[in-house]
């Protein structure tokens, strides 16, 4: 069973935060707005511009990303908890 | 009797949520904004852009979709309860 | 005596709601925002786009339509109560 | 002495409401937002679009129009009370 | 000493209101938002549109104009009190 | 040490107000929003329009300008207090 | 481990403020909104315009910049505290 995000939306699997990972990315406790890490499961086709062209997304399936803690809507697909959000809620890609 | 949604609106039949469906999509109780499942009954012709062109919708009649719980306006057509909403209220398509 | 709506406005005659019509459209009592039925009496020429072209309306004179309960401004023309509203307040056309 | 409205503005002379005119337009007492009748005295040249073209007004001098009760700014020209408002405050033309 | 307004701004000298001038323009005491009369002292070059073209102003130096009572910023140039405001605050030109 | 303003921003050195300068510009005590005088120290390259072109600023380095009292952000460059603000906060140029 | 900012975002390393640096930039204690200094670690590819073109950023990797104190989201990359913010939060470049 599959969920295809619409327009400029993406489907994200939130990753558990390893509080003490060495050499990795750790969100400080004092962060003003706590960002989270996740993995892109699926991306939409992009918004339609006023000229009728799709504006493609910058993130790709498989990207590890950073997004705001309160971004998106939770859904459960085949028992797995996922998040549907707009690409603009994604702040960066982790390589 | 038929209802044709105007512009970028769609007509949706909400589907009953199966709380314990295995291998399916289940909305968790703890969801921040509870999304729902539905089926597209009819779609509008799309918004008119500033250049006078219709911007076609991405969803099609028959698509199974996810939308926000408070989206749309309830109407009753031939005894059937339906929802009229904008395509932007639809977050994803379920295959 | 005639009223021509300006720009993207339409003139609508609200129809009385038949609470128990069979096989017709009935607005449920529990509707979040109660939509109403009406008939398009007259339509404007459409808004002028930034390029100076009129963007024609999708609804036509004679269309039976669904619109939000609080849409528009009431006027009385030759003793008949009518509503002046924007086309965007019209949610669908009933065939 | 003359007042030329600027851009998309119009100069309107409000007409006295005949409460019981037969076969005419009467604003019901129960109207949510009471519209008024008036006569267009002068019209602006229209707004300048982003492309540098004037977007001409749809109303003309002499048109009898309907507008919202709280629209516009009152001025007195040669002892006559007039209203300066934007064309968008005009909802329809009465023929 | 000279002040050149920037973009779509104009420099205005407010005129004293003659409360009882006959055949002239008198602002009624009961006006919702009291407009004022003034004379255009200088005009800006106009805003830059998205295409990089200046959108010229409709008012010219020397025009007698009507503007809202609370429009603009007061400055004193060579002892004379003037107002710097946007052209959109100017509602009409008096001939 | 140099600060280059970004996009449509400018760097301004506020000038001390000479309360009683004769034949100059004096801000009246009763001004609704007290404007200030300053000198442009540096200007940005301008905003990027939707078409990818820079929209050049109207003010130039060295211009004596008028700006709103609460405009901009204070910074100290080589001991000198300066203000970083958007060009739109500049209301006029003094010659 | 690397973080690539998306669209018009940048990754910034905040610099410690030297309160008494001579001939440098010192943010006065009385500043209305305290700006900070930082160094650009990475920049996004720019926003996609309505025409489908990327609008490149004005700041480059390595630039020393000024930004608002409350701008951005804190993240920790390989033990280093960084800020993810939009380019519009950057007010100027320090040479």
How many A/B residue pairs have CB atoms within 8 Å? 79
D49 near D55, Cβ under 8 Å? yes
Give the contacts of F49 (CB within 8 A, at least 6 positions apart).
E50, E51, E52, F55
**Mean pLDDT rounded to a whole number for chain F:** 87
Structure tokens at D20: 């019981």
Phi, psi (degrees; rounded to nearest 5) at C89:
-80, -15
Do the chains A and E touch each other, judged by at least 3 C-beta pairs below 8 angstroms? no
d(CA C26, CA C22): 9
Taking the CB of residue D95, how many other CB atoms lie within 10 A of it? Answer: 9
Report the DSSP beta bridge partners of residue A60. Answer: none
| Min distance E6 CA to chain F CA atoms (Å) | 5
Structure tokens at G51: 């025409």
Q: Please indicate whether, in this complex, the C-beta atoms of D49 and C45 are within 8 angstroms of each other.
A: no
CATH superfamily for G1-16+32-63+72-86 is GroES chaperonin (2.30.33.40)
d(CA A8, CA A38): 17
Nearest partner of F14 among F71, F83, F73, F60, judged by Cα: F83
Which helix (H) or strand (E) segment holds residue C9: the answer is strand C9-14
Could you give the count of Cα atoms lying within 13 Å of C40 in the half-sphere of its Cβ? 25
E87 touches chain D (CB under 8 A): yes
| Arithmetic mean of pLDDT, B52-78 | 94
**Mean pLDDT rounded to a whole number for chain E:** 87
| Arithmetic mean of pLDDT, B70-82 | 92
For strand G80-86 and strand E90-94, is the pairing parallel, antiparallel, or unpaired?
A: unpaired
- pLDDT for D19: 53
Closest Cα in chain C to D31: C74
CATH superfamily for C9-15+34-94 is GroES chaperonin (2.30.33.40)
Out of G11, G73, G81, the one facing A35 most closely (by C-beta) is G73
Burial class of residue D40, CB neighbours in 10 A (0-12, 13-18, 19+): buried
Q: Which chains touch A (3 or more CB pairs under 8 A)?
A: B, G
The dihedral formed by the CA atoms of D65, D68, D70 and D76, expressed in degrees to the nearest 10: 0
Burial class of residue B92, CB neighbours in 10 A (0-12, 13-18, 19+): buried
F64 touches chain E (CB under 8 A): no
| Min distance D68 CA to chain E CA atoms (Å) | 14
d(CA C12, CA C38): 6
D29 touches chain E (CB under 8 A): no
Closest Cα in chain G to F48: G55
The dihedral formed by the CA atoms of E57, E54, F27 and E38, expressed in degrees to the nearest 10: 0
Q: Please indicate whether, in this complex, the C-beta atoms of D66 and C45 are within 8 angstroms of each other.
A: no
Contacts of C58 in chain B (CB under 8 A): 6-7, 45, 48
Is residue B25 very low, low, confident or very high in pLDDT (cuts 50, 70, 90)?
low
Hey, of B7, B38, B92, B94, which one would you mutate to test binding to chain A, going by the most A CBs within 10 A of its CB? B92
Structure tokens at E44: 């800006």
d(CA E69, CA E80): 18
Burial class of residue A19, CB neighbours in 10 A (0-12, 13-18, 19+): exposed
Q: Please indicate whether, in this complex, the C-beta atoms of A23 and G75 are within 8 angstroms of each other.
A: no
d(CA F41, CA F82): 9
| pLDDT of residue A93 exceeding 80 | yes
Closest Cα in chain F to E70: F32
| Arithmetic mean of pLDDT, A60-69 | 96
Backbone conformation region of residue F51, classed left if phi is above 0, alpha if psi is from -120 to 50, else beta: alpha
D1-16+40-85 carries CATH number 2.30.33.40: yes
Contacts of B24 in chain A (CB under 8 A): 1, 78
| Arithmetic mean of pLDDT, E11-34 | 65
E86 touches chain D (CB under 8 A): no
| Arithmetic mean of pLDDT, G41-50 | 96
Give the contacts of C41 (CB within 8 A, at least 6 positions apart).
C10, C11, C12, C13, C61, C82
- pLDDT for F69: 87
| Architecture per CATH, A1-16+34-83 | Roll (2.30)
Scored b (16 or more CB within 10 A) or e, G29-68 reads eeeeebbbbbbbbbbbbbbbbeeeeebebbbeeebbbbbe
Closest Cα in chain C to B6: C92
Taking the CB of residue G78, how many other CB atoms lie within 10 A of it? Answer: 14
F89: DSSP letter: G
| Min distance E75 CA to chain F CA atoms (Å) | 5
Could you tell me the residue ranges of all domains in chain D?
1-16+40-85
Q: Please indicate whether, in this complex, the C-beta atoms of D92 and C51 are within 8 angstroms of each other.
A: no
Residue with tokens 């590890």: A64
G16: DSSP letter: P
Phi, psi (degrees; rounded to nearest 5) at D39:
-125, 135
d(CA G95, CA F78): 12
- pLDDT for A31: 46
Closest Cα in chain B to C26: B76
d(CA D66, CA C5): 9
Q: Please indicate whether, in this complex, the C-beta atoms of C6 and D90 are within 8 angstroms of each other.
A: yes
E90 touches chain D (CB under 8 A): yes
Contacts of E28 in chain D (CB under 8 A): 74, 76, 81
Contacts of D51 in chain C (CB under 8 A): 50-51
- pLDDT for F25: 62
The helix/strand/coil state of C65 is: strand
| Strands across the sheet containing E9-14 | D3-5, E90-94, E64-68, E35-43, E9-14, E80-86, E73-77
| Min distance D9 CA to chain C CA atoms (Å) | 15
- B39-58 pLDDT, tens digit per residue, is 999 999 999 999 899 999 99
G22 or D37, higher pLDDT: D37
D95 touches chain E (CB under 8 A): no
Fold of B9-16+33-94: 10 Kd Chaperonin, Protein Cpn10; Chain O (2.30.33)
| pLDDT of residue G54 exceeding 90 | yes
- E44-74 pLDDT, tens digit per residue, is 999 999 989 999 999 999 999 999 988 999 9
Do the chains B and A touch each other, judged by at least 3 C-beta pairs below 8 angstroms? yes
Q: Write down the H helix ranges in G1-95.
A: none
- pLDDT for F18: 58
D23 or G71, higher pLDDT: G71
| pLDDT of residue E36 exceeding 80 | yes
As averages over each run of 10 residues, the pLDDT of chain C (95 residues) reads 95 78 55 79 96 95 95 92 96 95
Q: Please indicate whether, in this complex, the C-beta atoms of C95 and B3 are within 8 angstroms of each other.
A: yes
C25 touches chain B (CB under 8 A): yes
Backbone conformation region of residue B84, classed left if phi is above 0, alpha if psi is from -120 to 50, else beta: beta
Which helix (H) or strand (E) segment holds residue F50: the answer is none
| Min distance D71 CA to chain C CA atoms (Å) | 14
Out of E35, E50, E94, the one facing D73 most closely (by C-beta) is E35
A79 or D33, higher pLDDT: A79
Contacts of E77 in chain F (CB under 8 A): 25
| pLDDT of residue G49 exceeding 50 | yes
**Mean pLDDT rounded to a whole number for chain G:** 87
* Gyration radius of chain E over CA positions: 14
**Mean pLDDT rounded to a whole number for chain A:** 87
E39 near E13, Cβ under 8 Å? yes
- D46-87 pLDDT, tens digit per residue, is 999 998 999 999 999 999 999 998 899 999 999 999 999 999
G65 near F7, Cβ under 8 Å? no
DSSP C30-61: T-SS-EEEEEEEEE---EEPTTS-EE--S--T
Report the CATH number of the E1-16+33-83 domain.
2.30.33.40
- F34-93 pLDDT, tens digit per residue, is 789 999 999 999 999 998 999 999 999 999 999 998 899 999 999 999 999 999 999 999
- G61-78 pLDDT, tens digit per residue, is 999 999 998 899 999 999
Do the chains B and C touch each other, judged by at least 3 C-beta pairs below 8 angstroms? yes
Q: Please indicate whether, in this complex, the C-beta atoms of A3 and B66 are within 8 angstroms of each other.
A: yes
Beta strands in G2-79 (DSSP E): 3-5, 9-14, 35-43, 47-48, 54-55, 64-68, 73-77
- Distances B55 to B8, B9, B79, D30, F70 between C-alpha atoms, Å: 8, 12, 32, 40, 43
d(CA C70, CA B63): 31
């Amino acid at each position: 069973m599959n969920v295809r995000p619409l327009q400029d939306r993406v489907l994200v699997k939130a990753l558990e935060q390893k509080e003490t990972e060495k050499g990795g990315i750790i969100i400080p406790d004092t962060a003003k707005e706590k960002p989270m890490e996740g993995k892109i499961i699926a991306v939409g086709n992009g918004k339609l511009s006023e000229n009728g062209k799709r504006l493609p997304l910058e993130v790709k399936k498989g990207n590890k990303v950073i997004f705001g803690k309160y971004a998106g809507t939770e859904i459960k697909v085949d028992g797995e908890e996922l998040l549907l959000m707009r690409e603009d809620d994604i702040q960066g890609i982790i390589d």
